[in-house]
Amino acid sequence: MYKELKKFKVSDSFSFATDDSLEQVCNASEGSGVFLVYAVGEEKELIMVGSTGTVQNDGSLKIKNGGLKEKIVEGHQFAKTGRKYSWPAQMSKEDISLLEVVWYETFNDKTKGIPTAVEAQVLQNFLDENGRLPRWNVAF
């Protein structure tokens, strides 16, 4: 686990296989924060980091309806379609049988971690350790 994520207490995870319904297995909250996606095989590999929620000038949070759950299930990746469709297709293409998704609420009543800043720090640490971004992160 990345040290910058330890302070966020509202957190959970779920597994997703190609024959699962992402909508049904996703237990993410409607809060704001970051999510890490791991390909699970002989080893567990971080393949993507994402976030949702924007902190406004006045310190308030602007969040899209559905928060983390909506971003994970309906967010676009690999195609102009929601992850509930594109993830199983990409998993089949890359011969990934199982994903583990770990999510953290980084901005709520108790903690005020700007989601994109936390995402950036995790990605920076990954880049420092590996010389590249996780393979499902196209750019940052």
Instruction: Tell me how many degrees the CA angle 103-108-113 measures, rounded to the nearest 5.
Output: 70
User: What is the distance, to the nearest Å, from the Cα of residue 60 to the centroid of all Cα atoms in its chain?
Assistant: 22
Across the beta sheet with 11-17, the strand order is: 11-17, 98-107, 32-40, 44-52
What is the chain's percent helix, strand, coil content, to nearest 5? Answer: 30, 30, 40
At 77, phi and psi to the nearest 5?
-160, 135
Task: Using pLDDT thresholds of 50, 70 and 90, give the confidence band for residue 104.
Answer: very high
Predicted TM-score of the model (pTM): 0.94
Contact assessment for residue 32 and residue 64, using Cβ atoms and an 8 Å cutoff: no
Residue 1 has pLDDT above 60, yes or no: no
DSSP state of 66: T
pLDDT tens-digit profile of 16-28?
A: 999 999 999 999 9
Residue 126 reports pLDDT greater than 70: yes
pLDDT tens per residue, range 46-91: 999 999 999 899 988 888 778 999 999 999 888 788 899 999 999 9
| Structure token digits, residue 129 | 């350790």
Q: Give the mean pLDDT of the chain.
A: 92
Dihedral (CA of 13, 123, 62, 81) sign: negative
Delimit the domains of the chain by residue range: 3-130
